[in-house]
Amino acid sequence: MPWWWAGHGQTGRKLSAENVSWVLVKESRTLYTAVVMNSKSVSRSWIPYYLEFAVALLAYGVLLLISLLSLKALSRDSGWRIPIALLPMLPAAGVVLAVVRQLGRVDELQRQQLLESLAIAFAGSALVTFGYGFLENAGFPQISWFFVWPVMAPFWLLGPLFSYLRSR
């Protein structure tokens, strides 16, 4: 069966226009979950996650802007530089909390898929960053730790695809 047919034990049932539009607005890391599962149950269980995630990302953006502007205005020897620089980490912890809370809200299959995606992201980014560390020993430029997340995110987005291909 092609992946665009709704599954979860009900092969051959086409997605409705509502389901397709819901899938299109999903982040790509949950595309497989939204397509293969009954999309109504996926919608209900994933809406709080997306709200929590979106609020945390919005707060992150606001606090990042405040932090960057404040750091430009402060003198180099100010004691406030460290707490202000770390200010965006508060909503970043909210993103982690949203993911952990979502693990408790989803069914066993969705939980397994989410954990597989995170495991793939962890292992893939560990290999890439560890490998680049060896390349730095060979003379490659040293890069910031800020590059770990941009390396990890694509692996996290590919996780549901690997889960789908493995279960075929």
Residue 55 lies in a domain: yes
pLDDT in tens, 61-98: 999 999 999 999 999 999 999 999 999 999 999 999 99
Residue 167 lies in a domain: no
Residue 54 lies in a domain: yes
pLDDT in tens, 102-117: 888 888 888 888 889 8
Residue 157 lies in a domain: no
pLDDT in tens, 12-63: 444 444 443 343 344 444 444 444 444 454 557 778 888 998 999 899 999 9
Residue 83 lies in a domain: yes
More confident residue, 15 or 134: 134
Confidence label for 156 from pLDDT (cuts 50, 70 and 90): confident
Closest CA relative to residue 28, chosen from 154, 164, 119? 154
pLDDT average, residue stretch 141-148: 89
Residues 6 or more apart whose CB falls under 8 angstroms from that of 70 comprise 80, 84
Are 76 and 128 spatial neighbours (Cβ–Cβ below 8 Å)?
no
User: Does the reported pTM lie above 0.85?
Assistant: no
Residues 6 or more apart whose CB falls under 8 angstroms from that of 6 comprise 13, 14, 15, 19, 35, 36, 37, 38, 39
Residue 87 lies in a domain: yes
E-assigned strands of the chain?
5-6, 13-14
The CA angle 31-109-155, to the nearest 5 degrees, is: 45
Residue 17 lies in a domain: no
Residue 56 lies in a domain: yes
User: CA–CA distance from 109 to each of 3, 25, 42 (Å)?
Assistant: 16, 21, 11
Q: Provide the pLDDT for residue 43.
A: 55
Q: Provide the pLDDT for residue 126.
A: 94
Domain that holds residue 91: 46-106
How many domains are contained in the chain? Answer: 1
**Which pair of tokens denotes residue 24?**
């299109």
Q: Provide the pLDDT for residue 165.
A: 81
